Structure 1
Amino acid sequence: MSNDICHVLLIEDKLDNVELLENLFSAAQNCSLAQGLTFPVTCIPTLAEAIPSIKEQSFDVILLNLSLPDSQGFNTLIQLRTNFPNLPLIVETESQDESLVVRSFQLGADGYLQIKILDSNLLIYEIRLAIERQQYRGKIAQEEQKNRQNQEFADLDALVKSSSNTSITAKLFGNYPLQESLPDVFEELAQTYGNLLELAIEQRIFKVEYNLSEQLRTLGDKLGFLKASPRDAIEIHTKILKEKSQDVPVAKAQAYVAEGRLMIVELMGYLASFYRKYYIGLSNINISSKTDYP
């Protein structure tokens, strides 16, 4: 919301309610609670029309009638809140049933208006309160996500440290971690992993198919050829997760963490598979050598 404009989306099909609210918003410019704000209103009569409009335009608050031609009851609220979890949303109705108020808040509403007792002061008060509620929820969600991320990174760091002295591949080949011995190669592998993580998010959201498993298998084979250890895979994963999770919305950070967990498990599996094939090959060579040269 800018300093002097609050863009309002009114999802309402009843002309009387639309006229009432538009008049209240016009009168609200003289209210002390408005504090110089103007309230341009966009009115849309159906949920089907509202959803793409919200995606295309920027609104500061939504006023929603739960009884629309194409959506009735709390399902309307649920659909909007699911699609737009961070947008202040106020339910408006002609009913005075208090149970509707309670249920609306339980399902994610930030405010509730009863049309029959509404005036300009109450309307502006509810809008300001709804925006503040949503901002507060956003701060809490960010703090919770930050705490989860810190714990995730701490667990990964602990896993790296615990594996530093027990890495089978490191002991077998006498290698230092890739990040130390081959920093340029490590960065290239991390970039590849980061690109795959982005594709995984797109695949999940847009229901497309990128054959990520095959690309992860290829990455696992590259790590195997470089005699990498599980520690190297975890360090790549940790580096990318930290980079991707910076300065992004809470929902996207959560998506990176969730998809990243699945990816690192699959990548570790392919790395283990590479080494199983490697050891089987060594065993076959040894057996063959003993047979040919008694």
Structure 2
Amino acid sequence: MNSSASGATTLGTRSSLRRSPSCSNGSGRPLRKTNSTPSSRASLPVSSTPIRPPKSWPARCSGPLSARDTIACVTQQRIRVWFRKGERVRFISHLDILRHWERAIRRAGLPLAYSQGFTPHPKIAFAAPLPLGFTAEAEVMDVTLTERVDLAEFRRRLSEQTTDDLAIVDVREVPLSAPPPQAALLWADYEAEVPFPPEEAERRVAEFLAADAWPYTDTKRERPRTYDLRGAVAWLAVRPAPSGSVLAMRLQADQDVTARPEHVVEALFPGVSPSRVTRTGVVLREAMPAIDAWRAKGRFQ
């Protein structure tokens, strides 16, 4: 009996220790041990030793460089590529198109530049992802290189590694300081086919263009949004087609509002979806250093 009593006393002592305020947070669970010692990582000195570039770099990179200047010196050329997206690849996603161009550039032996960090990414920038199922006549892509390459040689070598449905339309060199195409995007041109005769399409287009505002709610997004569709349409025209009519339009595509051709078709013809949509081109804002400087200081809207 003494042993059982002592055992009961021992159990009671242990349970009381578990529930004591000094050893628990009131829920019966023991408190976790906290380490009040500051992290040793914060006390490590940050090296500010400049990086000395190799002799193969240009003269502007001859002196001691910081990490940011080193990245700038690695990139030597930026080429803007216009390419088409044909019928056979219109259901290929944007990420697959990006992988295609990355592999094509590497197969062509072009000196593609990569971002710095633990997971380097190829420096390939698009103006705007093309929705699945759309075709395109002049998509925009910027490619950054670590060495200068002649434009004709660049186009020849890259064209050999791509297909006719992703053929290169044009190539031009742009300054390294120019904004990326996505930030410079202003408008996008589309052509959408609808199963209506040109007379009916022209009548509805005239009503749309005569309106001061046309609120449209995009319910296909995770969070429905309402915007003025009329204010996002620069121009809208109709031309006949074998299957009905083609609506040619220029839509706002900047960072404030991005209108879609399906929205225009649904606004004009409720319940109708376009049978085919082609993006015929994009309009980019030209680099204007003076205006960009004023915008940076908040003096220009």
Q: TM-score range, shorter-chain basis?
A: under 0.3
| Structure 1 or 2: more helix by fraction | 1
TM-score by length of 2: 0.27
> Comparing both chains, which one has the higher relative contact order based on Cα–Cα distances under 8 Å and sequence gaps of 6 or more?
2
TM-score by length of 1: 0.27
Q: Which has the larger radius of gyration?
A: 2
